[in-house]
Structure 1
Amino acid sequence: MSISEKHAIVTGGGTGIGLAIARALAAEGAKVTITGRRQAVLEEVATEGLYPAAMDVRDEADVCATIAAAVEARGPVQICVANAGIAEGKSLHKMSLEFWRNMMATNLDGAFLTIRECMKSMHDTDWGRVLTVSSVAGVRGLKGAPCYTASKHGLIGLTRSLSEDYLGSAFTFNAICPGYVDTPIVERNTVSISERAGIDAQPALQTMVRSNRHKRLLEPEEIAAAALWLCGPGSHSINGQTIEIAGGQV
């Protein structure tokens, strides 16, 4: 099944993993709506095949209106990539309820809202792919990040449940679970770890590099390649799976 001319929505599509996936889909001929909270960032990267649309995944009304407008402009969504998320570690005794709720609103509520609204038009088609971008933290506990870990476990649970709901249909639901990827998130976490631990930036970065089994950061394009595979020919029997990309066993 070719993805040429199919409408894809990629949340968090202005940077990092989301942008890499969006570009890979566009290179195969898809019409890709990229969303994020900063319109200027989206417009800066919106090359051919990418259509910028500012959207806050935490805001239900915004998600509903933005996806409806994208469907009106480019047709039913047939590839939904729920990628938008935040990653920040904080130990239990340092977490406020506000921190917890913002993480869940972005990483989990945002994915739920995005998928729900995309499925409204996908139901009218004969083929569809829903991909969630979880994390290796979604399949194991990540030390020092219980909130992030819980949100990514929840995202996998949502993905698996939806795969059962639509079992035998033309739609599949899978979660991609990367380790540490060379993106702005890692750059920000390097600063955060450095400040919390009182160490230089390079040792702080190495704490994340060593967490990947092959001892290097992943490239965003590696995650994009997995996304293309899950949307490509012969992918119809890959459903309800966690695709772990971390340089070895998780």
Structure 2
Amino acid sequence: MNRHAFVTGAGTGIGRAIALALAGKGLAVSLAGRRAAPLKDVAGEIEAAGGQAVVVDGFDVTDAQAIEQGIARAVDKLGEVAVLINCAGEAPSAPFEKTSLETWNHVVGINLTGTFSVTQALLPSIRRAGNGRIVNIASTAGLTGYPYVSAYCAAKHGVVGLTRALALELSRTGITVNAVCPGFTDTPLLDIAVATITGKTGRTADEARASLARANPQGRLVTPQEVADTVLWLVGEGASAITGQAIAVAGGEIMGG
């Protein structure tokens, strides 16, 4: 049986690109997310290309029961999970003084606690699979600060810290744990940011996208495929000595870290 990869947030954007890339390399992929329709679309693409995919819909990373049931369904269909990609996330924006505790808890719950919960639930399976790989999709917001997304920055910094701590705990097991930190990437999540900017500033969507692209020294948005290609390297045999790293995919916006 092919090695089994479990991808959260697999229906759109970066998660979708990663799922398709993993399937293209011969992995069987569990597509986890809350909404069935986009997951089924990705599964259809994978299966049309001759790959294996299982749709794990109703998968809410803040719901312990949903996590447990989704994992059980995936393992029953495709066997033990060897590769975990934590990609589920949300990034609502607001000035710090207008960020409610409800928003704070929601953002931290999905981006940080969700990563913790899914990883903890899947770790026994990853151990059994052997030579496991855990990749957390963080953000350049996990390496630096941005205005109006304090909760998101705090959560993604937490994801990077969790990545480094777990990498050391698992260093002698053959399991590697890394974070990939994209800069502004051309995804539906970025479209939400563009809509917020246009609503508050009156700039056009093209002007808003251009302002975000300027954060990248290459003067462009990162593509989801570029993030997926980085993930492919990290889950491959050639990256077995790479663990505990937070790799920025951002055209030079962030250096070091």
TM range (shorter): over 0.9
Pick aligned residue for 2:119 from 115, 118, 123: 115
Q: Give TM-score, length-normalised by structure 2.
A: 0.93
1:23–1:50 CA contact under 8 A, matched in 2: no
Q: Distance in 2 between matches of 1:239 and 1:128?
A: 11
CA drift at 1:249? 4.4
Instruction: Name the residue aligned to 1:45.
Output: 42
CA drift at 1:45? 2.0
Pick aligned residue for 1:132 from 132, 136, 139: 136
Q: Distance in 2 between matches of 1:213 and 1:118?
A: 38
2:132–2:176 CA contact under 8 A, matched in 1: yes
What amino acid maps onto 1:38 in structure 2? R
Q: Map 1:66-85 onto structure 2 (within 5 A).
A: 66-85=70-89
**Closer, same or farther: CA 190–249 of 1 in aligned 2, 3 Å:** closer
Q: Distance in 2 between matches of 1:234 and 1:29?
A: 16
How many aligned residue pairs are there? 247
Q: Tell me, which stretches of 5 or more residues in structure 2 are unaligned?
A: none
Q: Distance in 2 between matches of 1:116 and 1:69?
A: 17
Pick aligned residue for 1:207 from 191, 207, 211: 211
Supply the RMSD in Å over aligned alpha carbons: 1.2
Instruction: Name the residue aligned to 1:173.
Output: 177
Secondary structure of the equivalent of 2:133? Answer: strand
Instruction: Name the residue aligned to 1:191.
Output: 195
CA drift at 1:246? 0.5
The list of structure 1 runs, each at least 4 consecutive aligned residues, that deviate by more than 6 angstroms after superposition, is none
Instruction: Name the residue aligned to 1:24.
Output: 21
CA drift at 1:204? 1.5
Secondary structure of the equivalent of 1:153? Answer: helix
**1:161 corresponds to 2:165:** yes
Sequence identity of aligned pairs in percent? 39
What amino acid maps onto 2:70 in structure 1? T
**1:148 corresponds to 2:152:** yes
2:36–2:55 CA contact under 8 A, matched in 1: yes
1:134-169 deviation per Cα after TM superposition (whole angstroms, max 9, x unaligned): 000100111221111001000001111100111122
2:6–2:30 CA contact under 8 A, matched in 1: yes
1:43-73 deviation per Cα after TM superposition (whole angstroms, max 9, x unaligned): 1221312221111111111011111221121
Instruction: Name the residue aligned to 1:242.
Output: 246
Secondary structure of the equivalent of 1:124? Answer: helix
Q: Give TM-score, length-normalised by structure 1.
A: 0.96
